[in-house]
Structure formats: C-alpha cells, structure tokens
Structure 1
Amino acid sequence: MDFTPSARATELTEAVRAFMQAEIEPVEEQYHRDLAAADDPWTPLPVVAELQAKAREQGLWNLFLPAGHGDAYAEKYGTTGGTGLSNVDYAPIAELTGRSFLAPHVFNCNAPDTGNMEVLLRYGSPEQQREWLEPLLRADIRSAFCMTEPDVASSDATNMAATAVVDGDEMVINGRKWWSTGVGHPDCAILIFMGLTAPDADRHSQHSMVLVPRDAPGVKVERLLSTMGTQDPPHGHGEVSFTDVRVPLANVLAGPGRAFEIAQGRLGPGRVHHCMRLIGLAEAALELACRRALDRTAFGKPLANLGGNRERIADARIKINQARLLVQHAAWLLDTQGPLGAFSAVSEIKVAVPTMAQEVIDMAMQLHGGGGLSEDLPLAGAWTNARALRLADGPDEVHRGVAARLELMKYGAKR
C-alpha cells in the first residue's frame, strides 16, 4: 500500500502551491468583496479569466484528468507532458485547492464540471466529446448535473421519477430536478440529466443519462436555491423543469439504461476530490484557529491557554491526519482495484471527512467569537460547505448503510 505521489505529481503540487501563494491568495479576499458588491453577481468577475489564463500558461490546467482516460486531452488541453494523474497523484493537489474558493475554478478543476468531464471522457462518443468535452476542457462553457429531484427521496436513486423516453430517433425529457449545481452560471451550456427510461427493467437498468443543452426548448431554471442563506453566485444551485424536451437519441451517454453504471464511475473519483478539498479547507480553518489562539488575549491569557483550547487544537490535528490517510487509502484502492474494490472505502470517506471538517471549522469559528459568524472571515462559508457535503453525493446514512452492508456480507449476510 503506497500513497506516495509520483515525481511529476509532486512537482505539480509544488507549482500549484506557489501559484496559489503568488496569484490567488493576494486577490481572493477582494474578489469576494467585489462579488458581494456587484449589481449582478452572476456575471463572473474578470479576475477569474485572468487567473485562468496564467494557470494555463504554467501548465496548471485540467489537473484532474485521470490516468488512462484523459491522456490525449491532457496533452492538448491540460498539463505539460500530456499524462493524466492517478487518484493518489491528484489527492494532494485537490487538498491544496480546497483551501480556496477560487482555486478549483482557476485550474479548471471545479465540481460539477470535473465529474461531467470525466463522464464524457469515459462514456462519451467521439461526437459528444467534440461538441461538449473539448469546450469544457477549454473552460469556454460550464455544465450542470441534474439528478436529485424535489418530490422523491433522491438518496435512493432508483426513486427517480423524471423521465427520458425513447421516441424514434429522439429522447423526450420530462420532470423536475433541483440542487443542480452550476446551472446559474451564464456560461452553463450543457446539462447531464438522469431519467427513467425502462420502468419494467432491472432496477439498476431503468435509467439513462442524457446530454441536454441548457438552451433546449422546454428547459427552464425555475429558481436558484440558497444554501444556509447564500445562493453561491456565479455558479448557483438551481431547480430546473424539463417539459417535453426533445434531444437526439445520439445524446444518450453510453446507451439507454446505463445511468447507474455511469454514476458509479463518476462518483468514486468525485468523492475523493470533494473529500481532499474538504481536508484542505479544514487545514485552513485550523491555521486560522491557531493564529487566533496565540494572538488573542482574554482574562490575562492567550486563548490557547483557556478553556481546553489546546486539547481542541490537538484533536483537530489528529482528526485531519486520520481523514487524510482514509482518503489516500480510498484513492489507492480506486487506482489499484477500481470502483468496486473501493466501494466501501469511498463511502467511508464520504461519512468521515465532511463531519471532521464541520467539527474543525466549528472549533475555529468558536475561537473567533462573533467574527467567526461574519463574512469578514471565510469560516462561516466553509462550515456551510462542509455541512452541505454531508448531503451532497449521498447523505451520511446511505454511505453508512453501504459500508455496513459490505462489512456484514463478509460474515454471510445477504445483500
């Protein structure tokens, strides 16, 4: 079991670190202030495109591209050398970018676009890749993933009621989705829609994934949802209705009935990315907590020497290190055994890491008093992000259920 990144990945990690320190950190605070003050916060600020151009010039672009699937595109649109990274290689890069809201977008490594690009890499036809993948790799367009529905328990994906029905050489789309991240961005041009195609088939062969242009007739963003009071511009999370939307049958990914296969291929690496970014977020929160604990004095003592704060800081360090090893293990399993071999490990990290990050960030907020709740610091937004990820990509309860089922099967329990 080896979690050591390759020499190339180590070089890229250090280059990302240097770029973030030199280019992103000096402007990020002002970026958030300018975005909050903008008359139209849904229009991306010019600084993002400027930073993206610099990142691409330095070969720090599309770093998520997976080894074995994105090599040709890595050479054309990605990092110097034209070779995608393993999950173990990409993990420390994802952790670094998680310290910043801007960094994933600057490096074109932000969700849900990374997951959608991986779907197109693994399952897209050459025509689908030319039309949608290549513009995404250039960051000419953005995308959204439309799976969760407001009227059914979407934690059980077999409940999906929105339909994608074959009609001759077309697919007809109907239904309503929500929490479709990225759909508020003005450059969002393509949606990956999961819908019910064959209700009488095996429960894991009933659904299809379909590429639906954002401007197709019948597609309507009904509203942009707020998460704990914020709408997350310029990307947003939308509720989207689909009314008799017709797209060519050629827009189906991999073929009708293969949505669950595609989802498992998409979500494993995506959950590693999410979790490593959360570890970076927790590291940033712990750094703020330590500085605050040493700089702030109350009752004649530094905060570090009051109220068990040293123990809380120690516990945070232990939890972060434990979580990192757990994610590295899941990444290694994905690289060596594939999605099935990493099935339990991916569910384990999806439970452990957001909970850890939420606890560490909460401790940092407490040390900052009222300021920790304000927009003067990134902690409230960070806490909201960690809390949301206990629901996104499957709630804690579902992932605990997966881990328990696989564990009990070792001892003879039926599936």
Structure 2
Amino acid sequence: MPTVTPQQDSDRATRLGELREAVRRFVETHAIPSEDPALAHDVVRLDRVTRGLQARAREAGIYAPHLPREHGGLGLNWSERAQVLEEAGRSFLGAPALNCAPPDQPNMINLLQQGTPAQQQKYLMPLIRGEIRSCFAMTEPAPGAGSDPGMLRTVAERVNGNWVLNGHKWFISGAVGAAFAIVLARTDDGATMFLVDAGNPGYRLVRNIAGMDGYQIGGHGEILLERCVVPDDAVLGLPGKGFDYAQARLEPARLSHCMRFIGRASRAMEIAQRYAAQRDSFGQRLCELQQIQAMVADSHIDLHASRLMVRDCAMRMDAGEPVKHESAMTKVFVSEAVWRVADRAVQIMGAQGISDDTPVSMIQRELRPFRIYDGASELHRATLARRIFKSGMRP
C-alpha cells in the first residue's frame, strides 16, 4: 500500500472542507427552498423536484459522494462521507438530490458488488445517472419476514428453465415509481436475491402505504408477486447467498442513516435555538430559562456523542475491520439520540414546534421511524447482549 504523506493528508482534508461547504451551500440555496409541506406526501411531485435538484447537484460537482470515481461519484471513504452526508441530511431533499438516499444507495452497493456486467449496464448505470429508481423488497405481512428475515415466505421455484416467484411484500420504501425491485425470496438453495422489473406481468404494486414520515421518495409500497416469471440472469449474485448480501448492505445503510439524520436533528435544534433566543415569556427570553438551557445542552451532548460514534464506526470500515457490533451500537444510540434532540426542539418551540410553519414537526415525525428502520432498537439490544455473553466481551 503506498505511503500517504502529511502533505497529501492536508490536501485531502482541505478538499473535504471545500466539498462540505459546497454541499451546505447547495442545501441552503436549492434543497431547503424546494421543501414544501404539500410536497411531503406527493410521491409524483417529489420525483419531479428531485430530478431537477439532481441536475443542479451534478453542476455543483457534489453528486454521488458514495460512488467510486469510475462510476461518476466522488470516491469518498466512510470517514469523509460522514461529514458530507450530515450536511446533505439537513434537508429532506438533500440526500435524494445527491443520489445518496435509500433504497437506491444500498441497492447500488449490491449491484456494484454482486451484479454481472450485463446487470450493471441495465440496472446500475441508469440508477447512478438518476434516470430510474429502485426498491428493496424483503419485508412481508405476518407471518412473513419482518425484524426476523428467517421468516421469509416469498418463494422462487425453477420451472422450465426460469424462476417463478410468488409472495407478498409491504412497507417497501421507494416502491411507487420504481423501475425494478431487488426481491428476496426462498429457493431450494436458501434465500436468494432477484432483479424484477416493475413492468413484469407477475409484479403488481397494490398501493402506497401512508405513514407518519414525509419526503419518502417512492413512498412505502405494498407489492404482490403472483406467478412472476424471471430468467436465470435475474438472480443477483449466487443462489442461497441472499441473507449474506442483505447483511452486507445493512451495516453501511445503518451508518448512512445515522449520518443523514444527525444533520436533520441538528437543523431542528438550530431552529429551536433561534426561537428561544428571540421569544419572550414571563418577562425574560426563553434562552435565559434554565430548563430551556438544559434541553439545548443535552441536545448538543447527544449530537456530539452521535458524531463520535459514527466517526469511530466509519474509521473502522475504512480500515477494513468488521463492524457488526459497533454499527449495531451506533444505530441504537444515534436513532434514539436524534429523536431526543428533535423532541426537545418541538418542546422548546411549543405550538410552533407542532405546526407546519417550520420543518421541526416533520423532522420529528421522520426521525421516529428510525428506531425501527434497519432493525428495531430492541432487536439490536438483544443481539448485542447475546454476542457479549457468548464471547465474554468486557465493557
């Protein structure tokens, strides 16, 4: 491995600082002004607005920070992405504008790592260019897969040289308007990933499931797979390796969520601080009340601790170390910390905090599901504890 000189380190740090400032300017100048409460649940209009912002992001040279340069990205490592994704995450539209929002971001990882050249040409390259969107179809109605992927009930069987998929998926983020889905299904070899075009006659989008969050590109869809026939080359990677591939995408996906949502929570607290510094109550400014001061201080503590955990996990990933344990701890802590920050911001602002006059209310609604996304906090805690007891790990 070539030696990196102090000057090269300094130059890279300078470029990262300039990139971070460029992303912040873009978010403040383009992404935040494009936000609109009426846009939050309009998936068709969201697509249109996002495509326009992506064109501007390309012009600004900040597009696709997570992708290698040879694929049109910025080639950032995980430690660098932590800073850039936090800035993008300040706006509901920031990450989609940079084309580094889920589910497309982790789907790109799967296609980069497991896709054949033909699959990459058909699915990955249009995805990178922002010409199409995708979704990842794993979650199923009870008694199917949810927090426990081992309960997977969607099946794929070999029939006349093809695969025939049958199953029921729901809460599939990004499904409305997606050009294709990465579908997880059971086969005789084990769980397997399939690339399924949305135009396949056996693939049907039933509905968009309305939820408390907003600005979810492509909503949360319910999908039926009924005698859905796909060819052999629809298999992504190797048959039977689906759970391994799903796990490989989850750790970076969790960390990316943490990065983006730290930015969102920081913005909520900034708005609350400005409010407290200007609002008079009972003869004094809110910011002079100790209870308000405590909420602000606790929020800064939560955000600082969240950044440190993300930074540690990112450095380990850059070093090629396994982070199953660390990413789970980071996801649990950060998902709960950013919720506390947003909740305090709402409390500080009172009636304004629960209105759509500011983005604070929507930020809180968006952050609440993060304690469920990518594994619920309770599941991670149980898994962490089992691993700790099994290995005799010391605190």
When normalised by structure 2's length, the TM-score is 0.91
* 2:255 matched residue in structure 1: 272
Q: C-alpha displacement at 1:10, in angstroms?
A: 5.2
Q: Would the alpha carbon gap of residues 180 and 10 (structure 1) be closer, same or farther in structure 2, given more than 3 Å must change?
A: farther
Contact 1:87 1:332 in 2 (8 A): yes
- Render the CA deviation track for 1:213-246: whole Å, top value 9, x for unaligned: 1111121111111222x56465201111111101
How well do the aligned residues superpose, as a CA RMSD in angstroms?
A: 2.3
Query: Which one of the candidate residues 157, 163, 168 is aligned to 2:149?
Result: 157
Within-5 A mapping of 1:240-255: 240-255=223-238
Identify the residue that residue 78 of structure 1 maps to in structure 2.
73
Instruction: Identify the residue that residue 166 of structure 2 maps to in structure 1.
Output: 174
Aligned residue number for residue 54 of structure 2 = 52
Partner of 2:293: 310
Q: Using the alignment, how far apart are the partners of 1:52 and 1:183 within structure 2?
A: 20
Residue 194 (1) aligns with residue 184 (2): yes
Would the alpha carbon gap of residues 141 and 320 (structure 1) be closer, same or farther in structure 2, given more than 3 Å must change? same
* Alignment pair present for 1:11 and 2:15: yes
Confirm or deny: 8 A CA contact 1:286 1:361 kept in the other structure: yes
Q: Using the alignment, how far apart are the partners of 2:125 and 2:61 within structure 1?
A: 17
Question: Are the equivalent residues in 2 in contact too, given 1:35–1:41 (CA < 8 A)?
Answer: no
CA contact (8 A) 2:46 2:215 kept: no
Question: Contact 1:217/1:245 (CA < 8 Å) preserved in 2?
Answer: yes
Q: What percent of counterpart residues are identical? A: 35
Which residue of the other structure, out of 18, 32, 37, is the alignment partner of 2:35? Answer: 32
User: 1:34 Cα shift?
Assistant: 7.8
Gaps of at least 5 residues in structure 1 are: none
What SS does the aligned partner of 1:42 have?
helix
Greater displacement, 40-49 / 296-305: 40-49
Q: Residues 154 and 41 of structure 1: is their aligned pair in 2 closer, same or farther, counting only changes over 3 Å?
A: closer
SS of equivalent residue, structure 2 residue 294: helix
**CA separation in 2, counterparts of 1:326 and 1:231?**
27
SS at match of 1:148: coil
Aligned to 1:227: 211
Aligned to 2:309: 326
Structure 1 residue 383: Cα displacement? 1.2
Following the alignment from structure 2 to structure 1, what is the Cα–Cα distance between the partners of residues 78 and 378?
25
Structure 2 unaligned regions, length at least 5: 1-8
TM-score where L is the length of structure 1: 0.87
Query: What amino acid does structure 2 have at the position aligned with 1:52?
Result: Q
Query: 1:136 is matched with which residue?
Result: 127
Do the aligned partners of residues 409 and 387 (structure 1) sit closer, same or farther apart at CA in structure 2, a change above 3 Å counting? same
Q: 1:9 to 1:93 in 2, by over 3 A?
A: farther
Kept in 2: contact 1:120–1:133 (CA 8 A):
yes
Shift of 1:154: 1.1
Contact 2:88 2:260 in 1 (8 A): yes
| Cα distance change, pair 234–392 in 1 and its aligned pair in 2 (3 A) | closer
Aligned pairs, how many?
A: 385
Aligned mate of 1:403, from 361, 368, 384: 384
Rounded to whole Å, the distance in 2 between the matches of 1:412 and 1:304 is: 44
Decide whether the 8 Å contact of 1:59 with 1:78 is kept in 2: no
